[in-house]
Structure 1
Amino acid sequence: MPLCNNFSGSLAVAVALLFFGVLYIFNLQNHADNTLRSTEYPVDELEAALVRAAAGNNKTVIITMVNKAYVEDVGRGRSMLDLFLDSFWEGEGTLPLLDNLMVVAADQTAYDRYRFRRLHCYKIETDGVDLEEEKLFMSKEFIEMMWRRTRLLLDVLRRGYHVIFTDTDIMWLRSPLSRLNESLDMQISVDRNGVGGHLINTGFYHVRSKNKTISLFEKWYDMRLNSTGMKEQDVLQNLLDSGYFDQLGLTVEFLNTNEFSGFCQESSDMSAVTTVHANCCRHIPAKVFDLTRVLRDWKLYKTSHVNNKWSPHVKCWRSWND
């Protein structure tokens, strides 16, 4: 009996020593990882904003980018900012997502307005480039602002954060989280389904922070130097069509317009629609007018659950003649 007791006691001590040894090594490695991260990514303003916005969401942050034109009233006391935030209040399961939204401001006016609303926000440096006023589709300033956005998102991915990017002219009617697949490298919206190929739209996409997605964004951003007059969306489309996505081994899904709808090809199923994008529209006043009608249609659907047709996007159709 004493021999058995001694053996049992020695075994218990050995197991305890092994447990504490493993725990020590784990804590040491964890400390080393934290030290390395602190060295590579100092806690600057961007990192601080990302930490707050990604809290409780597995390092996933929702990002949108605005300038002064998006926070100014365009009639009836409404701005694109007001409408965008209203959709989170009116959507199903979307209100809590405001805690994970980081607004990137291209100028001081937009930054101050978002700070006033107590949202997570970050102001990009514009190096003397005026990004305040509305940038009409395909203008030189519009293209410049899109490339600034791409550069910022590359920085976010390099810091280890996963991104759901959304244009501000998108209404969030349902939470997209249950419809997004974390096992994929990237999911991106399209203007139209069933027209041959994939007409991607960079107004909404989900991208995971991995070496291969970072490589994609690096290549994408570098190509701006040889893509004069092209918007970043067209450059990414060229990378897709050239087979570069396959070269990197990216797993990609193109989001169906039945759920991720837009003015180019609207969803006919209100019971399935998740977001509505004012694509195929030229300027902000037209977008605000027609998206206001989208929210009105959505409220009627929530009350009746009758799958009615969306109101015609009259202002956006006419915007190309303005």
Structure 2
Amino acid sequence: MDYSKINPKPILAVLSLMVATLILVSSWEPLTYKRNSFLSEKMNSTSERDELEVALEKASMANKTVIIAFINEAYVEPNDDEYPSMFDLFLEGFWVGEDTRRLLSHLVVVSMDTTAHQRCLFRRLNCYMMAAEGDGLAGEKVYMSAGFIEMMWRRTSFLLQLLNRGYNFIFTDTDVLWLRNPFTRLVMNDTDESMDLQISTDRFNGDASSTRNLVNTGFYFVKSNNKTTSLFQRWYDMRKNLSEVKEQDALEMLIRHGILTRLAIKTSFLDTLYFSGFCSDSRDVTSVATVHANCCRSIRAKVLDLKAVLRDWKRFRQVESNGVPSNTTNSFRWSTHTYCHNSWHQGAS
């Protein structure tokens, strides 16, 4: 989700995160993992596991790769009774993007509550409802609230199960617009040069191999193998001692303490030129693949500014289709993300 430079966490929370990470680092054993206890409890029926496998097999590409997105009621219902919803915008991106419509057949939409699941089914998408107790994950979870943190860790737990099942996946937040096929910008072959993890950044430092990049877990591709499964297990295990820390910060700390090197995970940190966001706009509209509404606090603000992104994109495509000289497209500028900027100075509305 969003990696914000605003509202830094209390010193005690940071110290707790560092201590817990150092404990994990000191006890690491190479390439081992334990079964995820959380999902063993939540998804312990054969029928539930079979339903997930059916959804994955239906969406899978030839190399067992799927696209995964999570939704809840807040993402499918219009904010303040104003359409479109976040989910509407997410799907619109596939419709108006370049070479993206066909990718919807490889998308598995994971619902966190019944309202979201019904909306997904209505859209005739490939839907799976994650087992949960009641609808505790329904409604908007404001950035860094207890509900937000819980939802992020549940997501990590679920994605670990996909790796255990042998599926590669692109995970995408639903506040990410797919304007071009991102697979063309990812290393997808099965050679020695293939990457285990390719993850987006809030601000790219110019070096795709540098662990100093600020990662963003709102968009990434991961290949299923022993190394990545071990990474996700250790990542999720951090939750036990870090109840007030979001999963992205936990992963950031693991990376800083050398987890990628220890597990020999080949990693590429994605350039914001191609995988951009509100933290750092792409400088080249002719190259950008995805736009993420990161550095934003509320769903309402994300929706309003993502609508502006879609307007910008459609305007550019119209100019492009008219054969306007390249210097005109070079002058293209994204609209200012005013609502997201202001969301940090307002309440949760």
- Give TM-score, length-normalised by structure 2: 0.78
Structure 2 unpaired stretches of 5+: 1-45, 189-193, 321-328
Q: Distance in 2 between matches of 1:252 and 1:236?
A: 13
Q: Distance in 1 between matches of 2:270 and 2:289?
A: 11
The match for 2:68 is 63
Change (3 A) 1:57 1:320: farther
Q: Distance in 1 between matches of 2:83 and 2:262?
A: 49
Amino acid at match of 1:209: S
Q: Distance in 1 between matches of 2:254 and 2:82?
A: 42
For 1:221-300, what aligned pairs fall within 5 Å after superposition? 221-300=236-315
The match for 1:72 is 77
Q: Distance in 1 between matches of 2:134 and 2:97?
A: 38
Amino acid at match of 2:334: W
- Secondary structure of the residue aligned to 2:276 is strand
- How far residue 128 of structure 1 moved from its aligned partner, in angstroms, is 4.2
Amino acid at match of 1:296: R
- How far residue 178 of structure 1 moved from its aligned partner, in angstroms, is 1.2
The match for 1:102 is 108
The match for 1:208 is 223
Query: In 1, are the aligned partners of 2:113 and 2:135 still within 8 Å (CA)?
Result: no
- Secondary structure of the residue aligned to 1:77 is coil
Query: In 1, are the aligned partners of 2:109 and 2:128 still within 8 Å (CA)?
Result: yes
Q: Distance in 1 between matches of 2:101 and 2:128?
A: 21
The match for 1:192 is 203
The match for 1:4 is none
Give structure 1 regions of 4+ aligned residues with deviation exceeding 6 angstroms.
none
- How far residue 198 of structure 1 moved from its aligned partner, in angstroms, is 1.1
- Secondary structure of the residue aligned to 2:203 is coil
- How far residue 76 of structure 1 moved from its aligned partner, in angstroms, is 3.8
User: How many matched pairs?
Assistant: 281
1:164 aligns with 2:170: yes
Identity %: 53
Measured against aligned partners, the alpha-carbon deviations of 1:99-126 in whole angstroms (never above 9, x if no partner) come to 0000010000000000111101111122
Query: In 1, are the aligned partners of 2:114 and 2:135 still within 8 Å (CA)?
Result: no
1:317 aligns with 2:328: no
Q: Distance in 1 between matches of 2:122 and 2:318?
A: 32
1:136 aligns with 2:160: no
The match for 1:154 is 160
Measured against aligned partners, the alpha-carbon deviations of 1:275-313 in whole angstroms (never above 9, x if no partner) come to 000000001111010000101100111111324100010
- Secondary structure of the residue aligned to 2:252 is helix
Q: Distance in 1 between matches of 2:62 and 2:301?
A: 34
Q: Kindly name which structure, 1 or 2, has the bigger radius of gyration based on alpha carbons.
A: 1
Query: In 2, are the aligned partners of 1:57 and 1:100 still within 8 Å (CA)?
Result: no
Amino acid at match of 1:68: E
- Give TM-score, length-normalised by structure 1: 0.85
Q: Distance in 2 between matches of 1:296 and 1:175?
A: 19
- Secondary structure of the residue aligned to 2:131 is coil
Higher helix share goes to which structure? 1
Amino acid at match of 1:260: F
Q: Distance in 1 between matches of 2:258 and 2:278?
A: 29
Query: In 2, are the aligned partners of 1:191 and 1:257 still within 8 Å (CA)?
Result: yes
Q: Distance in 1 between matches of 2:164 and 2:273?
A: 32
